[in-house]
Structure 1
Amino acid sequence: MADKTVDGEPWTGCVVMFLQSHCPGVDLLALFKDEREKFNVYKVIKLTLSDSAGGLGGYEILKVHDAEPFLGVEMKFVNLAACQQFLECYSSGAVRQSLSQHACRLLALTQEFTVETQLKASTHILDRCLGELEVCLQHIHLSQPERLRDEEIDHLEDKLKSQALGSLPQPTAITQEESPVPSNCFTFQNRVFEDRMLTAADVQSFSNGVGRQWKHVGRALGKSCRALKGPAIDNLAYEYEREGLYEQAYQLLSRFIQAEGRAAKLSRLIKALEDSKLTSLAENILEIQPRE
C-alpha cells in the first residue's frame, strides 16, 4: 500500500482506541471527566501515541469521548508509516505497556496499572485481524474522519505546548552558581535531564544498541534491583539464547521495569550504562546531539 491513493491524495485514515482500566478505584473515563485530572489523562494518551507512532507527527487526536465503560480516543492518521508502526506496537502489547508506565507516573498511582484496549475502524474490530496488517490498514483508510478536531482537544494541545515550552527542564550546563539539581532530575555529562519512568522507546533504543554488553548493564542494574541479582542474568541469557541479543536485552529491561515499577527510572539506566562504559548509548537514549 503506497502513501498516495489512486487519485493522488495523501493517505489518511481514522481509528478509535477504547481504554478501560482494570485497576480497582482507577476509572479512566471518570478521571477524564474530572477537570483536575483531565489534562493528565490526555497527556498519558499523547505520550503513549508518541511512543508507539514514532513521534508527534503522522497523526492527530480528534476527540476523546465517553464510550461507557470505555474511554474512546478517536485518531486520524495522515501518514501510512506512522499508522503501521502504531499497529505493530499495538499488536505486540507495547501500547498497553506504554499506557501503564505513563499512567503510573502522571496519575500518581500506588499500584500496577493494567488496561484493556480495543481498536475499531468504523464497524470493524481490528483486534480480530491484527495478524493481517494490510487488512487493518485498509479498514483504517476506508474509515475517514467525520469531524474536525474537537475544541476540547485544541485547549488540551495548547496547554501541552505551553507546558513543554515553559516547565520542562532543558539540558543545560551546570555551574557552581546554579541551584541544586531538582529532585525529579538527574545529571549526565554536566547537563540536567528530567528523571522519569523508562518508556517503550527507551527499551527499544537500549535493545537495539547494547549488543553483547547487555549482561554488564544487567549486573550494574542488579546492584540495586533484587530481581537481577544472583543467577538472574545468566538465566535470561540461557532462556532467550535462540532469540538473539536484541531479545535478551529487551527482556532484561522488561524484567527490571516489572520488578521496580515506578522506581524503574531513566537515571538508573543511564548510571548503569555509565558504569558499563557505554556512554554513547546513553547519549543516544537521551537524544544528545554528537559534538562537532
Structure 2
Amino acid sequence: MADKVLDRGPWTGCAVLFLQSLCPDANLLSLYKDEEGKFILYKVIKLTLIDSAGGLDGCEILKLHDADPFFGVEVKFVDVVACQQFLESYSSGAVRQSISQHACRLLALAQEFTVETQLKAGTHVLDRCLDKLELCLQQIQQSPPGRLRDEEIDRLEERLRRDVLGSPPPQQIPFIQQVPSNCFRFQNKVFEDRVLTAADVQSFANGVGRQWKHVGRTLGRECRALKDTAIDNLAYEYAREGLYEQAYQLLSRFIQAEGRAAKLGRLVKALEDCKLTGLAESILDVQPRD
C-alpha cells in the first residue's frame, strides 16, 4: 500500500492509456474514425475501467484521440484507491485482458483480440516503473488534467444513456434477454457486476443488523474464509463493538479472501437468498417495487 500517497487527502491525477490492436480484423484508429466504431470503443474502455478501477466513482474518461499508431484514452482519477487498483490491474495484465474480452464480444470478432498497451503520466512512461507503485501514483498526481471532459465524450455518454432506456441509476443497464457475463440480473433489471467497494461495505453494515451471520453463511457456501467457525470467531472478537462492526468485518473478510472475485452480484444474490431484498435495493440505489 502506498501509504504516503494515501495520506495526502484530496487527490487528483491524470494518465493516458495508449492501445494498439494486434488483430488484423480490428484496427482501433479505423474504428475511432467511424461513428459506430467510436461508440463501441467508448463502451469497451468504460467497461474496462469498471473492471479494473472498481467502478467509475473514482475515475472519468476525459478524451479519446488519435495518437498514431496508437489509440489514446485520457483518464482522470479523483480517488487514489481507484487509481491504485487500476495500476495493479494494469501491472498484472488484467486491463489488457479486460479490453480484449470486451472488444472481442462487442465487435463480434471470430478470433481472439490482442492489444499492445502503454501507460503514461505526462512525459513519464509508467510501464517502466510498475513495480514502484508509490512512484507511479506520484507521477499521475503530478500530471493533473489540463482539460475538462471533451464534448465528444459528452456526446458518446448521451448516446449511451439513450441506449439504456432513459438514463437509469449508475451501474444499471437496460433489461436484455441474455445477461452478459460481466452483469447480473436483479428484479428484472440488469446491473454491471463490479468489485465491492468501501461504500458497499458501509451500506451493508448499516442495514443488515442481526442478519449478518445469515448472510455470512450464505456467502460462505462459496468462500472458505467464511465457514461457520470463522463467523463465530468474528462474532466473539467484535462483540463489544456491536452489530455494525461485526457486519463490517464480515464483508471485509470476504473481500480480502476473494479479491477481484468479491463481486456485487454475489452479495446481492446472498441478500436475496436471505430475504433481505430491501437492503439489496439500498446498496444498488434502486427504487423499491410497489
Give the shorter-chain TM-score range. 0.5 to 0.7
Rounded Cα–Cα distance in structure 1 between residues aligned with 2:177 and 2:81: 38
Distance change >3 Å, CA 288–CA 165, structure 1 → 2: farther
Paired residue for 1:58?
58
Q: Is the 8 A contact 2:5 2:138 kept in 1?
A: no
Contact kept, 8 Å, 2:18 with 2:119, in 1: the verdict is yes
SS of the counterpart of 1:143? coil
Q: Using the TM superposition, give the Cα deviation of residue 190 of structure 1 relative to its aligned residue in structure 2, in angstroms.
A: 9.1
- State the partner residue of 2:245: none
Match of 1:16 in 2: 16
Moved more, 159-168 or 90-99: 159-168
Q: Which amino acid aligns with 2:43?
A: K
What value does the CA root-mean-square deviation take over the aligned residues? 3.9
- Give the whole-Å Cα distance in 2 for the aligned partners of 1:46 and 1:83: 15
User: 2:179, 2:185 within 8 Å by CA — same for their partners in 1?
Assistant: no
- Shift, 1:283, TM fit: 7.3
Aligned position for 1:184: 178
Partner of 2:270: 280
Output the CA distance in 2 between the equivalents of 1:102 and 1:156. 17
User: Once the 2 structures are TM-superposed, how far is the Cα of residue 160 of structure 1 from its aligned partner?
Assistant: 1.9
Cα separation, partners in 2 of 1:210 and 1:71, compared to 1, 3 Å: farther
1:1-292 aligned within 5 A: 1-2=4-5, 5=8, 10-166=10-166, 168-170=173-175, 183-185=177-179, 191-192=187-188, 280=270
Q: CA deviation at 1:192?
A: 4.0
Alpha carbons of structure 1 residues 28 and 3: separation in structure 2 relative to 1, 3 Å: same
Structure 1 residues 185, 119: CA separation in 2 closer, same or farther (over 3 Å shift)? Answer: closer
Question: How far apart are residue 288 of structure 1 and its match?
Answer: 5.3
Does structure 2 conserve the Cα–Cα contact (< 8 Å) formed by 1:15 and 1:75?
yes
Partner of 2:250: none
**Deviation of 1:51 (Å):** 1.1
Offset at residue 25 of structure 1 (A): 2.0
- Taking structure 1 as reference, are residues 136 and 151 closer, same or farther at Cα in structure 2, changes over 3 Å only? same
| TM-score, with length taken from structure 2 | 0.61
Structure 1, unmatched stretches of 5+, are 171-181, 203-208, 215-244, 251-269, 274-278
Deviations, residues 241-261 of structure 1 (Å, cap 9, x unaligned): xxxx969x98xxxxxxxxxxx
TM-score of the superposed pair, with normalisation by structure 1: 0.61
Distance 1:27 1:169, change over 3 A: same
State, as a whole percentage, how many aligned pairs show the same letter. 58
Instruction: After TM superposition, give the deviation of residue 121 of structure 1 in Å.
Output: 0.6
Q: Structure 2 stretches of 5 or more lacking a match?
A: 168-172, 197-217, 224-256, 283-287
Tell me the alpha carbon deviations over residues 154-204 of structure 1, each in whole angstroms, 9 at most, x when there is no partner: 11112222323449434xxxxxxxxxxx65249x999546599xx8859xx
